[in-house]
Amino acid sequence: MKVAEKIKELREQLNNHNYNYYVLDNATISDFDFDRTLKELEKLEKENPVFFDSNSPTQRVGGTVTKNFNTIIHKNRMYSLDNSYSKEDLFDWEKRVEKVLGTSELEFTCELKFDGASINLTYENGQFIKAVTRGDGFQGDEVTNNIKTIRSIPLIIKEEFVSNFEMRGEIVLPIDGFIKMNEERILNGEEVYRNPRNTASGSLKLQDSGEVAKRPLDCLLYQVVTEERKYKTHFESLENARKAGFKVPKTITLAKSIDAVFDFVNYWDAKRHDLPYETDGIVIKVNNLQQQEELGYTAKAPRWAIAYKFKAAQVSTILNEITYQVGRTGAITPVANLDPVQLAGTTVKRASLHNADQIERLDIREKDTVFVEKGGEIIPKIIAVDHTKRPENSAPTMYATKCPECDTVLVRTEGDAKHYCPNEFGCAPQITGRIQHYISRKAMDIDGLGGETVDLLRKEGLIQNYADLYDLNVAQIIPLERMAEKSAQNMIAGIEKSKEIPFEKVLFALGIRFVGETVAKKLAKYFKSIDRIMTATFEELIKADEIGDRIAQSILDFSSDLGNIQLINRLKSYGLQLEVSAAVLENQTEILQGQIFVVSGVFYQMSRNELKKAIEDNGGKVSSSISKKTNFIVAGDNMGPSKLTKAQDLGISIISEQDFIYKIS
């Protein structure tokens, strides 16, 4: 047999054995024979490097060292999920879905929500290409070499599937594997890991993939993302993904109603502790893929899916002291300092008290015995007080009246839940917090500069605001603690590169109150430049999409402050992108200004996302549901009959995909 044929045969054998053992849980070869076959393949590949294949089974053993993980922008955004905690929440979600689709004929998939680290796997022509962490949903870190060591992830697709696609899943650490890892650490005198989820997540960022290979990580897949229209339902796509070699949980179930969904919820709420993995809830999805497209997304989450969270773990402990934190906007957050207590796998010492109203409503006092819960099993919060254990000399909590950092008298405007420190430019946490927000990944994404360094630079008197960053030089930074010449050079290079960041991200980075990522994009798209935003009137501001009274007033307050005006002028002088670039403007028009479109059906010349982008690029607005305000419906094949009827009843113009293309040509 020729060498090339032998190598191919051994690879196919090992891939099949991996699939049978790690996906089907059905070993078809002994460990000894598997290792012997793998060594035979390794020898042949070493002797014949011309046949190297990055997706060979021999590449799963690790050994590659990654010093820096590249940041990769997701081709398709990885959204968060809206959460629900009751049957009523699910009924409300079902009604919203029915309203948008105009039908009550729905089918759902129910899936266990495994607690791990989200991952996005890219495949082209049946070959594994890369793996990227979720990150902030828009971009993540490439961890391809580490992911290759997880044997339940196929590097080559077993049989015909879709050609080019992304596979979304969760990297998990089985409970048994986690326990064994900790037993080994105890024997070695090392500190134990706290919980499987954090350990799985941390494993993905280990520099040595050989170390990752030693950990019993697994990958459970839950979504196929592709532009190919081969399958009609989510369930069908996952069934075929399983046949192609992916480890898709067999617990996924079809449900014809919300009542059936709740049967699934109730069953697994009782049985979840018998699972080999940690799970914190159920994910419910509209099964029909075309209906998913019709429903679309909000700014943060898909409308076609929702997570039902199991009741969070609770413990009781003593609240020793209430202290106050100052955020970058000056918002004051009261914090409960607790006797340390174990909760959902972590030691909790502090919990948020949110605001003065919650303290008053629950009558929370120092030295109380309180019940602590992890909200969504992530952020600890106090949910109740055990009044039967309250000390006799207990006194009601008097909320802080002055800033704990700068002693400025706190203010609280009508209708606002929080107190604020108004000393914007003289309060240390606000100064540091604004700069930390400015350099963060979602904003200016400045490499080589972290939160601790920002605080150090401020304390050394080198910066007092984010504009000061652009006056820094290497000579100023090298003398600082834990700074070397290379680190200083990287920091200055990162600051310089931030001048290329597009306008909408710069606008978000400025830290204007209530102007988050989505609002910043809307403002940038509508006004095109910081000058137009800063000089806009209240009436002009609220004309922009999704800009209400509160946001408009916040922008006016920011724009009228002399200190902010000076900061913006300095940023201009440094060459930052404070207007939409010419390249972006070149592809935008006002042809559809003021017109509202609903996109419905299956299209062939443009994808649904391309259609929506074209509408927005030409000044129009995309809506998910039909109303009296809708101007046009762009209708493709298989448009829902109820939508068609509603459009005809309201007298809304229905145009084809080709009509739309002519309209913007």
Three-class SS string for 512-569?
A: CCCCCHHHHHHHHHHHCEHHHHHCCCHHHHCCCCCCCHHHHHHHHHHHCCHHHHHHHH
Listing DSSP states for 367-416 in one string gives: T-EEEEEEETTTEEEEEEE-GGG--TT--------B-TTT-PBPB--TT-
Parallel, antiparallel or unpaired: strands 164-172 and 314-326: unpaired
Q: DSSP class of residue 239? A: H
| β partners of residue 503 | none
CA distance from start to end of the chain: 60
Q: Cβ of 393: how many Cβ atoms within 10 Å?
A: 6
Q: 95 catalytic, yes or no? A: no
Beta strands in 287-446 (DSSP E): 305-309, 314-326, 332-343, 346-352, 369-375, 379-385
d(C-alpha 311, C-alpha 376), whole Å:
8
Query: What tokens does 641 get?
Result: 């009959």
Query: What tokens does 562 get?
Result: 């002399």
| β partners of residue 622 | 597
d(C-alpha 58, C-alpha 599), whole Å:
48
Q: Cβ of 395: how many Cβ atoms within 10 Å?
A: 9
Contacts of 65 (CB under 8 A, 6+ apart): 207, 208, 209
Q: Within 13 Å and on the Cβ side, how many CA atoms surround 562?
A: 0
Nearest of 311, 303, 301, 273 to residue 286 by alpha carbon? 303
Q: DSSP class of residue 23? A: I
Tell me the CA distances in angstroms from 206 to 39, 209, 211, 456, 577, one per residue in order. Answer: 25, 7, 7, 28, 35
Tell me the CA distances in angstroms from 93 to 209, 280, 303, 417, one per residue in order. Answer: 42, 20, 9, 27
Answer whether 314's CB lies under 8 Å from 372's CB.
yes
Answer whether 350's CB lies under 8 Å from 336's CB.
yes
| β partners of residue 602 | 637
Residues in the chain: 665
Parallel, antiparallel or unpaired: strands 305-309 and 83-84: parallel
Query: What tokens does 344 get?
Result: 């959902």
SS3 73: strand
Of 2, 113, 158, 621, catalytic: 113
Parallel, antiparallel or unpaired: strands 596-600 and 632-635: parallel
Nearest of 94, 153, 93 to residue 121 by alpha carbon? 153
Listing DSSP states for 130-168 in one string gives: EEEE-TTSSEEEB-HHHHTT-TTS-SB-SS---SEEEEE
Contacts of 411 (CB under 8 A, 6+ apart): 419, 420, 421, 422
Task: Return the active site residues.
Answer: 113
